[in-house]
Amino acid sequence: MSDIHRVGIVGCGLMGSGIADVCARAGLDVRVAVTSGASMNRGRQRLLRSLDGGLRKATITETERSEALERVSFTCDLYDLGDRQIVFEAVPEHEPTKLDLFRTLDKIVEDPDAILASNTSSIPIIRMARATERPGQVVGVHFFNPVPVMPLVELIGSLLTEDEPLARAEAFVTGTLGKQVIRSSDRGGFVVNALLIPYLLSAIRMVETGFATADVIDKGMVLGCSHPMGPLRLADLIGLDTVASIADALYGEFREQQYAPPPILLRMVEGGLLGKKTGRGFHVYS
């Protein structure tokens, strides 16, 4: 088991609330920092829905749900994360925002051995490490959505990350949170998204050119390739804004056409058609 007991999380969207859920279920003291009272209310509701999902699936009991909720506190002041032993960044996939946050966390978190962890799905960890005065303590800890359900976490060390915090992060994720880890080199997209995003973009281009509909593509990959979910429905689940952001980051790193976001994807994001979270993307959700 890990020696980490006090967890900080910045952001309480889909990923932040999921990380809060698994940490609280593991018996940890969890403090979530958000930007406003409205964000706090939305974050609490996401956490409740996440825990209620566990209750419905019988992965937790009513008592465990209540105890997990009691372990999570919310704040609008980043300075309240000063005593945390690990802080997870789970803000939107926007590099300037993440860099500003790491500069601030570097000043706030008191323990010099504390781990500053990014849940980024595409941005190289070394960029966030360089924004701090403790680059050796900065690691990538990339969870997958939905966090309580998906067993995998990608662990990424930059060229500046020290061995000890990377080992502590892996012990925490595997021993305390019960996840499985794969290690990745510090390059855009890491292992999973470097493979996944070109596949999703290829499916989106098929729709854009009129070659096939979203229903046909998804049915083909589910029934023909035994995928649990088709690529367009998966893109909707991830969030089309997130898919576009990851694609932008990958294209910026590699300058290869397979990573370039198709125009239809950009127009859908501009129009607020972000997938399941907004009720409409390549499919319609009630």
Which mean pLDDT values do the consecutive 10-residue runs of the chain (286 residues) have?
90 95 97 94 93 90 94 97 98 94 98 97 95 98 94 98 97 97 95 96 98 98 97 96 94 93 98 96 96
**pTM for the whole structure:** 0.91
Contact 157, 118 (CB under 8 A): no
C-alpha 229/C-alpha 239 separation (Å) is 15
Q: Reduced to 3 states, what is the DSSP secondary structure of residue 284?
A: strand
Single out the residue of 246, 247, 240 nearest to residue 269, CA to CA.
240
pLDDT score for 1: 58
Looking at residue 2, its pLDDT comes to: 74
193-277 topology per CATH: N-(1-d-carboxylethyl)-l-norvaline Dehydrogenase; domain 2 (1.10.1040)
Whole-number Å distance between alpha carbons of 256 and 168: 35
What positions carry a catalytic annotation? 121, 142, 154, 193
- End-to-end, the C-alpha distance of the chain in Å comes to 42
CB 128 within 8 A of CB 90: no
> Domain coordinates of the chain in residue numbers?
6-184, 193-277
Token output for 114:
């504390």
pLDDT at 286: 85
Domain 6-184: give its CATH architecture: 3-Layer(aba) Sandwich (3.40)
